[in-house]
Amino acid sequence: MEKFELHILGCGSALPTTRHFPTSQVLNVRDKLFMIDCGEGAQLQFRRARLKFSRLNHIFISHLHGDHCFGLWGLISTLNLLGRTAELHIHSPRGLEELMRPTLAFFNRQMTYEVLFHEFEADAPAVVYEDRSLTVTTLPLRHRIPCCGFLFAEKPGLNHIVREMVDFYGVPVYELNRIKNGADYVTPEGKVVPNHVLTRPADPPRRYAYCSDTVCLPGLSESLQGVDLLFHEATFATDNLVRARETFHTTAAQAAELARSAGAKRLLIGHFSARYEDESVFLQEAQEIFPAAQLAKEMLCVSL
């Protein structure tokens, strides 16, 4: 299976603690790196995770709160110092470009590469990225300011060639692409070899959903049906249920409910409030409802 790995660079919330960096993640899809949010220190953590800057071309920002984007200035400047030439694409709710352009220009008198901002309205789902193997769709969330999550969905892959059978029937190389795409093979003698004999099914396409920051939105479960991994914010535990609602955040139990009703395969929770010294309460409350829940932590890498 080709790589589909999530790296947690930071999973704290707005207030810094000695335990967590603010929010940032990197999804590695077949060695293309997609950064999701870019809190302060993201570039340091990126290095620590031994990821390669040259593989990073797209950054997705959920919303314009500082703990989700203050790392952009440093990261962009570093890429400039490194002499990057490839364009860097930043996808975010409206407003980021206007905010960043003056400071970026000041701190980077000469840019070796271009930063392209792609801004979207956060209130309706939209495909914000697409390539041969992946689409990224926004998931409108409800927070104090416009905010959305992101659904990373692999496209269905091609069937795998079964080398022994292809050799056995002497299939010529130029036929292989058609066969991967589902065609049968007809021998020179006119014998039809059905596709399923020559191939085994493609790997099931994988999906990763990122939801932070938001009140719990049970209605999301439809868009999240069967995701392989759901990252959901769990800023509070049930002891702060009211506060969670007031501040437009979610509790660990609510995140677990959503994972269950969406039929997610796994749940990762993070964005923990600084007030919890002991985070085991998040895990307990989530696992009671959804056993395949796990706490995010810095440098965790989850492979799908």
Residues marked active site are found at 67
SS3 content of the chain, % helix, strand, coil (to 5): 30, 30, 40
Site residues for a copy of itself per CB under 8 A = 14-18, 21-22, 40-41, 43-44, 47-48, 64-67, 70-71, 73-74, 77-78, 81-82, 95, 99, 102-103, 106-107
Burial class from Cβ neighbours inside 10 Å (0-12, 13-18, 19+) for residue 38 reads buried
CB of 89 to a copy of itself, least distance (A): 21
Measured from the CB atom, the residue of 21 and 236 that comes closer to a copy of itself is: 21
Measured from the CB atom, the residue of 67 and 285 that comes closer to a copy of itself is: 67
CB of 21 to a copy of itself, least distance (A): 7
Alpha carbon distance, N-terminus to C-terminus of the chain: 9
> How far is 86 from 88, CA to CA, in rounded Å?
6
Measured from the CB atom, the residue of 51 and 161 that comes closer to a copy of itself is: 51
CB of 76 to a copy of itself, least distance (A): 9
Measured from the CB atom, the residue of 40 and 257 that comes closer to a copy of itself is: 40
CB of 254 to a copy of itself, least distance (A): 23
CA 63, 64, 70, 71 dihedral sign is positive
> How far is 229 from 217, CA to CA, in rounded Å?
17
> Alpha helix (H) ranges present in the chain?
42-48, 66-69, 72-81, 96-107, 163-168, 176-180, 195-198, 241-246, 252-262, 280-289
Measured from the CB atom, the residue of 85 and 110 that comes closer to a copy of itself is: 110
CB of 301 to a copy of itself, least distance (A): 16
Contact 37, 30 (CB under 8 A): no
**Token duo for residue 28:** 């590695």
